[in-house]
Chain A
């Protein structure tokens, strides 16, 4: 990469400071089944009354990035207008045999696997067109996965504001503290997107981080 490009990329936050947008584009990222679509639905339901898509227990349910523009969030008198991008889950491997366990036919499973590979590429490409990221992690899982490390590394390399969402805290084995320990350099907000637990704290953090 050329030095000029590298400098431009590095100081993107300064360029943005002088060219403040009316709206910020926020990507919802994470591994498959972390609850990205459930979170997108929660935000939309709370602030615009509709939903983004249907979540599913089958991994890679979201295989195309979905964009919803102009969602207005108001917290403590502070208003934030965002475009939400719900991205497909990022993975380093996609085996169609995994989908067979959920009762899909081989043909369906292979089609889903192919679409999922395309979705991963699309999610990575979207990183270049965002103003901030909500990285959703499943609090019941080990956060030290390569996918999480790679996503965090790429967000840091692009100087994008990042909020880590420790999701699924309604489950008995949830441990948001483990996520905080794994990524101490970034703010972590524990929530349950499904039940709406602590969701106001997330909106407050979003207003502060992305506003």
Chain B
């Protein structure tokens, strides 16, 4: 079985974009800062990150803050984030504010572009 490097090499001139699909289980094991750092580092490397269970509103705000700090106006101009609005509100979430995020796609702003977003459908383009 060819390695990823060999496979990419076999694509020749065809450019590829790496997708990192992060499971809900992994996200639940990670601390907020660990999650945000992982997302931002991946996106700055040009990867698209898909989070199965998304981020909390506070984490999304923190991610925007961290993104603003790292914009260098040359190579990294920010991120494109798309997620479905949070729907359910459990008793626990009402008391402690722990709202569950839904599927979220995050990528570099110059590579990921949202075409259309509805309550349950996100359509996006990835520029290669």
A, B bound: yes
A contact residues vs B (CB 8 Å cutoff): 3, 6-7, 9-10, 90-96, 110, 113-114, 117-118, 120-121, 124, 127, 142, 144-146, 149-150, 152-154, 156-157, 182
Given A146-B82, A149-B83, are A114 and B61 also a contact pair (CB < 8 Å)?
Answer: no
A113–B96 touching, CB < 8 Å: no
Shortest Cβ gap from B32 to chain A (Å): 9
B83–A121 touching, CB < 8 Å: no
The distance in angstroms between the C-alpha atoms of A150 and B82, with both chains bound, is 10
A94–B64 touching, CB < 8 Å: no
The distance in angstroms between the C-alpha atoms of A193 and B58, with both chains bound, is 30
With a cutoff of 8 Å between Cβ atoms, the chain B residues found around residue A127 in the complex are: 61
The 9 closest A-B pairs by CB, nearest first: A93-B78, A153-B57, A93-B109, A117-B68, A95-B77, A150-B60, A154-B57, A144-B117, A146-B81
A118–B97 touching, CB < 8 Å: no
B contact residues vs A (CB 8 Å cutoff): 56-58, 60-61, 64-65, 67-69, 71, 73, 77-83, 85-86, 94-97, 99, 109-110, 114, 117-119
B57–A121 touching, CB < 8 Å: no
Q: Is the interface of A mostly helix, strand, loop or mixed?
A: helix
Shortest Cβ gap from B88 to chain A (Å): 13
Complex: chain B residue closest to A148, CB-CB? B85
B68–A150 touching, CB < 8 Å: no
Complex: chain A residue closest to B63, CB-CB? A92
The distance in angstroms between the C-alpha atoms of A154 and B63, with both chains bound, is 13
Given A94-B68, A113-B73, A124-B61, are A9 and B81 also a contact pair (CB < 8 Å)?
Answer: no
Given A117-B68, A121-B69, A124-B61, are A157 and B97 also a contact pair (CB < 8 Å)?
Answer: yes
A94–B81 touching, CB < 8 Å: no
A9–B73 touching, CB < 8 Å: no
The distance in angstroms between the C-alpha atoms of A178 and B98, with both chains bound, is 28
The distance in angstroms between the C-alpha atoms of A136 and B113, with both chains bound, is 23
B86–A153 touching, CB < 8 Å: yes
The distance in angstroms between the C-alpha atoms of A96 and B86, with both chains bound, is 32
B97–A120 touching, CB < 8 Å: no
Shortest Cβ gap from B115 to chain A (Å): 11
With a cutoff of 8 Å between Cβ atoms, the chain B residues found around residue A113 in the complex are: 71, 73
With a cutoff of 8 Å between Cβ atoms, the chain A residues found around residue B117 in the complex are: 142, 144-146
With a cutoff of 8 Å between Cβ atoms, the chain A residues found around residue B118 in the complex are: 144
A91–B78 touching, CB < 8 Å: yes
The distance in angstroms between the C-alpha atoms of A114 and B125, with both chains bound, is 27
